[in-house]
Every structure is written in C-alpha cells, then in structure tokens.
Structure 1
Amino acid sequence: MRLRATPIERAALSADQIDRMFALYSASYCDAHRDLFDRDLSDKTHCIILCDTESVIQGFSTLKLYATTWGGTPLRVIFSGDTIIDPAHWGSQQLAFAWIRLAGEISRSAPGVPLYWLLICKGHRTYRYLRAFAHDYAPRFDAATAPDVQALTDHLANQRFGAAYDGNTGVLSFPTPQGRLTPTLAEVPDAHRRLPDVAYFLARNPRYANGDELVCLCELSTANLRPMARRLFCST
C-alpha cells in the first residue's frame, strides 16, 4: 500500500488524528497512558504523519523546535519525540525522508544559526538513524565524543530532563517509566546484535527494555549529512 508522509504543525492535528496516533502508540508501548501521551504531544511543535491511500495514519514522528544558547551563542534544537510506524509498514522510508526535508526547511529559515538534533533512544532501530543520516554524531562506537560536543549534550540534557539525566552514562532513567517498548519491539534479532552500532547501543543502554534512553546529539548541516540525506535536506 502506498504511503505518504506529510509535515503538520502539532496544533493543527485533529482530535481523530490524535486518537489514531495514540492507538499506534499504545500498540508499541507497555506504559500507554493517554494523559502522558497527550502531555508529551502538547509539548511538541511539529508532527509528521504517515498516511495510506485511505488517509489512515500508519505512522508518525513528533518533534519540538526550540531556541537556546550555548557559550553565549544562539542555536536551535530539534528534539525528537516518539517515532512509530505500524509494523505492517516497516520498510517504508517515507517518514524518514519527510523528517530530513522538514529539518532542511527549518535550517533554511535561520541559516546563520546552528541547528542540532537532540535524540533520545530507547531502541536500537531509532539509534541507527543517526548513522544513516550523518557522518558525525555522538555517542558512537567508532569515535570518542569530543569534549565540546559532550559538554553541549550534557547541557541540553540537563536543561530538558534535569535529574533524570546521568552525565556519567549519558542515559535518561525515570523513576516511573515514560514508555517501555513492548517485548516484541524490544527484542533484538541476533543478526542486528552482530552489527557494531547495535552492540554499542546495547552496551551503552543495557536497561533500554525498562525504558531507559540514550541521549544523542547530531549537528544538522549540509557538511555533516550523508549524500542521500543531504539531497533531501537541501531540496525545496
């Protein structure tokens, strides 16, 4: 079935669309509380919805765009929230393509201001998008994190999550889980475990199945993006 991904401002989502998004969310997470979902969604600024030919949402990704400063320099941050695709449609890359196109639009709207992607990962599939999109990101298995990048990561994580963030491990851990993957989605196939980046993610975030999340950072710039991602990022 053909799918189409469309960016939309979070405030423009209809009640029916939000209900469908929660249905997808509750099928993917053990801790599917509607009040938690609604509160988290209300904090976001944008959403990308993945729809089939009948206009039924089969996936979505939420994000929050915000401005901050670091060392006296302004910068902007795209903080990724939930990204969910109905397993029947795994393999479609339309959601990822629309996400990077939207990031490019955001970058062009303020070309002189650095743009960073703050991503928290409770699953290895999400973590692997960093390598698919970018040359450099943190943390990664094949390169130590530069001190200035680690300092910025710690700053953004502390700013947003406070005491839930452990700077020694780079992991978020909440007293009450904010969403644990279902056992089926938390399962890591043996073939994936043998991949270096997946093995690294599992070592860095061993309690991912309990809802812990690895905090990651990536600069979104044409110089840092891989060729396909760069083409989408620069498309108009």
Structure 2
Amino acid sequence: MRSTADENDSTRSVDIPVPNLAPADRDQMFALYESYYEAVDRKGFERDLAEKDAAVIIRHERKIIGFSTYLVRPQTVGGETVHYLFSGDTVLHPARWGDPVLLRSFFRAAGAAKAEVGGRLFWFSIIGGHRTFRILPNFFCDFVPAIDGPVSARLQTIRDAIATARYGRHFEPSTGLIDFGPSQGHLRDQWADVEQTALRNRFAAFFLRANPSYFRGVELACLAEFEIGNLKRYAAASFAEGLKDGR
C-alpha cells in the first residue's frame, strides 16, 4: 500500500490491493460510481472490481471522492511479450475536476507497475467519455487512435491484440470500438456533455467522431506506452516517482 498526501489540503491518495479494500470502502466507491453512471449495478461493479489488482483511492477528510481501478497483465504480440495496465472503473467528484490529484496518483501507480514488470508497459484503456480520452493528448506524445500525424502501426497492432484477447467479437479493429450491445455502464446525460464541449475543444470533437455511440455504452479502445519520453507535463514527474519507489 502506498499513500501520498496532497500539499494543499487534507486530501490523500492511496494505492490499495483489491483484496484489502474494506467493505465500507467498496460501499463508498459504488455509491460514488452509481451517482455518475447509468446502467450499472452492485453485482457488476463487484465483478469488475474482483478482476483488478488494485485501486487508487482519493480521500478528502476520510471520505472517498475519487478512485480508479487497474490490473497489469502480459500480452504476446508477434513473438514479443509486453505488459499492459488496464484501468477500469474511474470516477472523480466534479468539484475536483481540473485538479490533478487522481491523475498524479494514477501515473505514480503506473511507474511502480513499470518497475515491477521490468520491460515495456502500455496503458490500455476503453473509453466512453471525452474527459478520460483527453488524458491521451494532454499527457502522452504518441498514442492510438492518433489525432495528429500518422498512426503508429506498432501501437495499433498491440492495441488490437489486447482488445481482441479481452473482448473478442465485441471489438472491431477497423474502428477501434468495443460494442457490447446493451450498455454495461455509461455516463449520465448531465455529466457526458460531449456535444457542447466538442464545439470548443478539438480533442472532445475527435472523441465524438471516433465514438459517436458513446451514449449507449460503446467504448473506444486506446493505447499509449508508459515511458518517460512519451509523457508530458506532471505525468512524467509522477511516473518517475512511482518508478523510483517501485524499484
């Protein structure tokens, strides 16, 4: 378990193995998640949580105000074995949107995971909202789907291998979309707001073009490598902290 205090207030982040989550933590996490997502239930939430290795928990005055769950797994692609960090259910109270507290903790956790696996580590994510998608252009240099410039064929091959292994027929490589049919969870209308944001933000506009059916739970499969040279802004610093602490 790793814990970090925010310099500005009583907010703390902690990285907790899933088996160590207290029942009260699980109750708070689901209550927070359900308040922002539709088509979710406690059974599905617990099933998703059980697959994950750990959760990054953000507390303010002992109350959970945000979290992200994740797992790390190997994937063989063309004879090479790489590892990917797959982030699952993620939510942060709107009062803290724009605050880097959850992202910094996430990148520290990724750095520690990179130290543990030793080799290449990628962030594999399936994204149903424009705010999460904007992490890619804001904090990574190269990623797929690419917004500017040529698409990295290697990144796309790795993404497709992981997505196919995890989701099979639900994944369509030509679009990068994962369609489960009935929604397995999507943002409530008042929190999605991608159409309005797309009018003033080109990254949100790209997400809307890439995943026009986000509103019924369709997810966009994305991939980026966790590597200092591929990270921007405070992501690189936080990742380096986790990398150092994990060794």
Structure-1-length-normalised TM-score? 0.94
Q: Comparing both structures, which one devotes a greater share of its residues to strand?
A: 2
Partner of 1:88: 95
**Greater CA deviation, 225-234 or 155-164?**
225-234
Alpha-carbon RMSD across the aligned residues, in angstroms, is 1.4
* Contact 1:140/1:197, CA 8 A, preserved across alignment: no
Q: Deviations over 1:55-104 (max 9, x none)?
A: 11111001111122212222111001011012233232111101101111
Q: How does 1:1-236 map to 2 (within 5 A)?
A: 2-53=10-61, 55-111=62-118, 113-188=119-194, 190-235=196-241, 236=245
Q: Which 4+ runs in 1 deviate beyond 4 A?
A: none
TM-fit CA distance, 1:211: 0.7
Percent sequence identity over matched residues?
35
Give how far 1:143 is off.
2.2
Deviation at 1:191, TM superposition (A): 4.6
C-alpha distance in 1 between matches for 2:229 and 2:236: 8
CA gap of 1:148–1:89, structure 2 versus 1, over 3 A, is closer
Residues in 1 aligned to 2:77 and 2:174: alpha-carbon distance in whole angstroms:
21
Instruction: Measure the CA separation in 2 of the matches of 1:161 and 1:52.
Output: 36
SS at 2:186 equivalent: coil
Residue identity opposite 1:198 in structure 2: A
**TM-score (norm. length: structure 2):** 0.90
8 A contact 1:172–1:215 mirrored in 2? yes
The offset of 1:50, in angstroms, is 0.6
Q: What 5-or-longer segments of structure 2 have no aligned partner?
A: 1-8
Answer yes or no: is the 8 Å Cα contact 1:67–1:75 preserved in 2: yes
* 1:202 match: secondary structure: helix
* Partner AA of 1:14 in structure 2: A
2:90 is aligned with what amino acid?
T
Q: Measure the CA separation in 1 of the matches of 2:216 and 2:199.
A: 18
2:134·2:204 contact (CA, 8 Å) conserved in 1?
A: yes
